[in-house]
Chains A and B, each alone.
Chain A
Amino acid sequence: MALKKILKFKIINTFTIVISFIVSFFILDLGVNSFLRKGLKKYYGIEDNSEIALIGHSHIMLGLDKESMEKKLNIKVAKYTSEGVDILNRKVMIDYLLEKNDSIRLLIYGVDAWSFSGEGLSANSQVLFYPFLDNVNIDHYLRECVPFKDYLTRKIIKTTRYNEGLISSSFRGYLRNWDNMKSGTVNLKKVKEQIAKNKYRKINNNPLYIETLTQTIETLSLNKIEIILFYIPTLHLINQVENKKFKKNIDIFEQIESDYDNVKFINFTDAYSHRYELFYDPIHLNSVGQKVVTDSLIKILQKNYYNDIGI
């Protein structure tokens, strides 16, 4: 009997420790999630009533300097960019941004020759939306496109919604740091070797992506938002690997430009793709490249958008 009493007491004691541990864990989980999500929103500029929004993946992320644009144009710029987000993801990003911010008047949308190629970008870029799982639309989107077990885990334990990229972005949001920290220059020899070994991303157009881009433009047009399809330059060596397909996709963007009054296609490829010193790798600009390209874009914006959005 005595042994049973002791065991019972010990089990209750253990139970108390476990429960307090679990409760503490969920409180901490809630706090960390709240902190990280706030930082992310600051980094992306989701709730800061910006008038210009930059949307895209790493090309735009490393290619455009938001702070420089804000300073020189004297206007707020939201830079909602994430690595590997494809056209389908970007539609969700834009919908979310428009829901949170009704003052956007110009949206700069990153495009490239590989924009309509689903494969080779990221296998699971939708995970970048996990931090905003509490939003109804994003919840709906994720429930459909991620395995239920993953969805449920993120729903219950909020800190599982982050990865180090998102955590880093969150901290950069608090620190107000949007710098391009890529300082090296592309290794041309290595690029040539990779091309020779057939290790490059292929251009394969998926009709769904083209259709989704059109839908995105329609939505933005309904909201009376000006759109720039902006081609951040990619290295000449990579552009010419599938030259015909490359030109065909440039034609698609030019066609979209002519189809819509509020769409302009700006292509910096011819101007900068041969200037190797501006590239960190074949598809991303280094900090010098970012400055050059941003300054050029600012000049175009000052020249062409003064009347439309008051720059």
Chain B
Amino acid sequence: MLFNSWEYLFLFLVTTILYFNISLKYRTFLLLISSYIFYISWRLDFALLMLAVTMVNFFGGIKINASRSKKSKKYWLALTIFLSLIPLIYFKYFNFLIENINFIIPFFDNNLQLPYIEIILPVGISFFTFQALSYSLDVYYGKTNVEYNFINFSGFVAFFPQLVAGPIERSSNLLSQFRNKHLFLKENFLIGAKLFIWGLFKKVVIADRLAIYVNNIYDNPELFNSATLAVATMFFAFQIYCDFSGYSDMAIGSAKILGFNLRQNFNLPYLANSIGDFWKRWHISLSSWFGDYLYIPLGGNRVRYYRWVINIFLVFLLSGFWHGASWTFIIWGSLHAFYYLVESWGDKFLNLIDFNFIKRYWGYKVFKILTVFVLVCFAWVFFRANSITDAFFIIDEILSFKKGDLYIGSSAVTFILSIFLIFLLLIVQIMQYLKIASMYFYKSKAPASIQFLWYLLICVAISTLSVSSNAFIYFQF
């Protein structure tokens, strides 16, 4: 069930109407039922898997909380993490492991080749596993109270607006909201509806359109020249942003109508002026997850320098691996770690030569925003390429600056429209940056009539220009 489907609209409408008209004690149960209907629409057995992860963390949390010694707490936490990660490792990483073992075996003069298993990755498994784990970790660190109500906890893990592609919520934010009574508020409805419409526009009008060109080029990179590959990479940067942030906006908007506040997941990442800044703006819920549960427990920056470098690499590397079971994702994560370190060295160098005044000039800021964008695009090549060989080929081709006509795809209109939509997105983002247009829950400065007209046009653009055949990219993560 996709957000841009009649089925979702129907489920959401029925859930919303019932939610605000039934007794408080049945509300979470209603949301749980809707969430499982939403998830079962993909596959029934995957819902059982989600239920298993929910139960492991529910009872794990109780056991961690009940343990008196630190050793016992640690034991229960380790067991909870281990059991929660088994499905994720099996479904997402098993074949990757086999692939690598098969690659290594011949070096030991052995012809044995392990067979691959046929697996379909359960939708959103990385998201609900990490969300459930965040609860157990928070209980361990004493950041949240243990939950004894299984319905509330299941509702937290399976909450349908953000179930399959985030934002990855924390128990301290979302779980407590299941205990509160939510009223139907005009403000919530309007903010939620606006977010949903804008998210839908980004997904079905921009991202899906750009995907046509990008898929065409990245599936046969050897057929295209430098300029075409560079344009496809830039298109992919906007495609993945619109796809993922569009989905997050729709999730946050749906939840807002029901009275729930989900975390902001994207904050104009392509206007970031450093790699560190980019990661504070891109997939914020995942970055902060790795920050809170991996980087800080490893010692963060309060360790020796070489350990800090290792910590940084570990966090980015695992972040890459979380996105997909392939070396391309690992390289993508490592590249960002490398950027991060180089940037910190650059800052230190500017301090050393007393050249910090340059940071005040707007030209330097623009230069940094553009540099960050180019570096991020460079890393996206690994993220999108079908193999490492393809990724290196694409980079080699782009950097060779070979001359040739730019391939504009099967339709010039689609290409021109794609560029127009990217410009439109950039203008809106700049207006959001300047707080003229609304973003997340912030109010717009524009008059109500202009907003009414803007969202009306966006709706007509969605109905006229949507490309509805592509599935959400992030579903497979």
Contacts and interface: CB of A to CB of B under 8 A. Distances in A.
Interface of A: 7, 10-11, 13-14, 17, 21, 24-25, 28-29, 32, 149, 153, 157, 159-160, 162-165, 167-168, 181, 184, 190, 193-194
Contacts of A168: 411, 413
A190 B414 CA distance: 23
Contacts of B351: none
B367 to A, nearest CB: 35
B190 A14 contact: yes
Nearest to B466: A160
Given A21-B455, A164-B411, A159 B186 contact: no
Interface residues of B, number: 25
A29 B463 contact: yes
25 contacts: A7-B183, A10-B185, A11-B184, A14-B186, A14-B189, A14-B190, A17-B190, A21-B452, A24-B452, A25-B459, A25-B460, A28-B460, A29-B460, A29-B463, A32-B464, A160-B466, A162-B464, A163-B465, A164-B411, A164-B414, A164-B417, A165-B413, A167-B464, A184-B405, A190-B223
A159 B456 contact: no
Give the dominant DSSP class at B's interface: helix
A19 to B, nearest CB: 13
B397 to A, nearest CB: 14
Among B6, B184, B186, B417, find the residue whose CB has the most chain A CB atoms closer than 10 A: B186
B464 A160 contact: yes
A239 to B, nearest CB: 21
A160 B411 CA distance: 19
A279 B91 CA distance: 49
A160 B467 CA distance: 10
B112 interface: no
A275 to B, nearest CB: 20
Nearest to A172: B413
B412 interface: yes
A165 B409 CA distance: 13
Give the dominant DSSP class at A's interface: helix
B465 A25 contact: no
A159 B455 CA distance: 16
Given A159-B464, A160-B466, A163-B465, 17 more contacts: A7-B183, A11-B184, A11-B186, A13-B186, A17-B190, A21-B452, A24-B452, A25-B460, A157-B463, A159-B463, A160-B464, A164-B465, A165-B414, A167-B464, A168-B411, A168-B413, A184-B405
B223 to A, nearest CB: 6
A85 B460 CA distance: 27
B411 A165 contact: yes
Nearest to A157: B463
Interface string B332-365: 0000000000000000000000000000000000
A11 B190 CA distance: 11
Nearest to B464: A159
B379 to A, nearest CB: 29
A186 B452 CA distance: 48
Nearest to A171: B413
B413 A164 contact: yes
Contacts of B412: 181
A51 B189 CA distance: 57
Interface string B252-264: 0000000000000
Contacts of B456: 21, 24-25, 28
Contacts of B465: 163-164, 167
Nearest to B223: A190
Among B413, B417, B465, find the residue whose CB has the most chain A CB atoms closer than 10 A: B413
Interface in B169-199: 183-186, 189-190
B463 to A, nearest CB: 4
Contacts of A164: 411, 413-414, 417, 465
Interface string B388-416: 00000000000000000100000111100
